Structure 1
Amino acid sequence: MYTGDGKGKTTAAIGQGMRAYGNGLKIYMVQFLKGGPTGELKTIDELNDNFKIFRFEKPRDFVWNLNEDEKEELKREIKEGYKFIINTIKENKCDVLIIDEIMGVLYNKFLTEEEVIYIIDNKPQSMELILTGRNIPEAILKKSDLVTEMKCIKHYFEKGVGARKGIEY
């Protein structure tokens, strides 16, 4: 689990995925709440089929800027991603399953804690599971074997520096 208010949760998960990829393992990464283009999409797309990123949402604004209809549409797309994850664990389709921003999905109530705990409890023993996002619920924290908290000490956003291509996305 990579959590906390600091930068680097997705980057750490991808780094772990690259290490696994370099050792011949098959990696699936499901990204939630990220619809726009990012550098990792291009890089990972250039690898062979042993590292794949899956997204189920169309590009849209941040959750807090969406109206109720847009939130309902997003929730349906997230449920499709969840079904994909359940199928992935049932069929043991990969060695490492990264679920990026799953805590943001929980925080926004697009999935329930029980649904995420189901993933943790039912993944194959041989499958590594990496979850990312802020605001990890206590029940999921207790089920996690490794939790790393990214803590923001200082961030250039506070000086008005915006998100930069190749650095934040």
Structure 2
Amino acid sequence: MELGLIHIYCGDGKGKTTAAMGLALRAVGHNKKVLLTQFLKDNETGELNSIKKLGDNFEVFKGIPVKKFFKFMSPEEQMVTRKEHEERFREVIKKAKDKNVDLLILDEIMAAINLKLVPLDEVMEFLKNKPKGLEVVLTGRNPDKKLIDIANYVSEIKAVKHPYEQGITSRIGIEK
């Protein structure tokens, strides 16, 4: 890409990852290279199943599956998760640069930053010095003001109503 910009999809509503995947589909449709990593997820999402069918231009950099909320992990599990997320962030950044990726999606990076699994200062340093043509998408709730300030797009998805409030848990193919 000629000029890569920074996108943030944030808010308490459903659809942040979905928006990122829509942008990825558009990019792949124009023969762009996409690299995705998902923080604090279990590697068993519907979008990952679909990506396999899109060909070589859409790569997923998987981490160790996270099967429970961070706050319910033991201190040892939290330490392992923190180390893996921090290392994966560094590795995915290197891979995006080395492979001349057009679009990098850091799904749920906000939660990883807020839980101190990925250092905000490293994310900021990367964004300030990213390759000129690299488009970057960051998703999640409660982005730091520094991230909002550096971003070119900030889209907030607001929950007005959600089935979880009625006791309906995530459903395969819709929320998962």
CA distance in 2, matches of 1:96, 1:13: 10
Residue type of the alignment partner of 1:113? L
- Residues 73-94 of structure 1, C-alpha deviations (whole Å, 9 max, x = no match): 0011102211212313442531
SS of 1:46's equivalent in the other structure is helix
- Residues 29, 54 of structure 1: 8 Å contact kept: yes
Report the equivalent of 1:78.
Answer: 85
- Residues 5-39 of structure 1, C-alpha deviations (whole Å, 9 max, x = no match): 11100000000000000011000011110014111
| Unaligned runs of at least 5 residues, structure 1 | none
TM-score (norm 1): 0.95
Are 1:61 and 2:97 matched, yes or no? no
Residue type of the alignment partner of 2:46? G
Report the equivalent of 2:143.
Answer: 136
| Unaligned runs of at least 5 residues, structure 2 | 1-7
**More RCO (CA 8 Å, sep 6+):** 2
TM-score (norm 2): 0.92
Q: Out of 94, 111, 116, which is 1:87 matched to?
A: 94
- Residues 110, 140 of structure 2: 8 Å contact kept: yes
- Residues 17, 27 of structure 1: 8 Å contact kept: yes
Are 1:101 and 2:129 matched, yes or no? no
CA distance in 2, matches of 1:11, 1:23: 19
1:1-169 equivalence runs, <5 A: 1-91=8-98, 93-169=100-176
- 1:53 is displaced (CA, Å) by 1.5
Q: Which runs of 4+ in 1 moved over 3 A?
A: none
User: What is the RMSD computed on CA atoms of the aligned residues?
Assistant: 1.2
Identity of aligned residues (%): 39
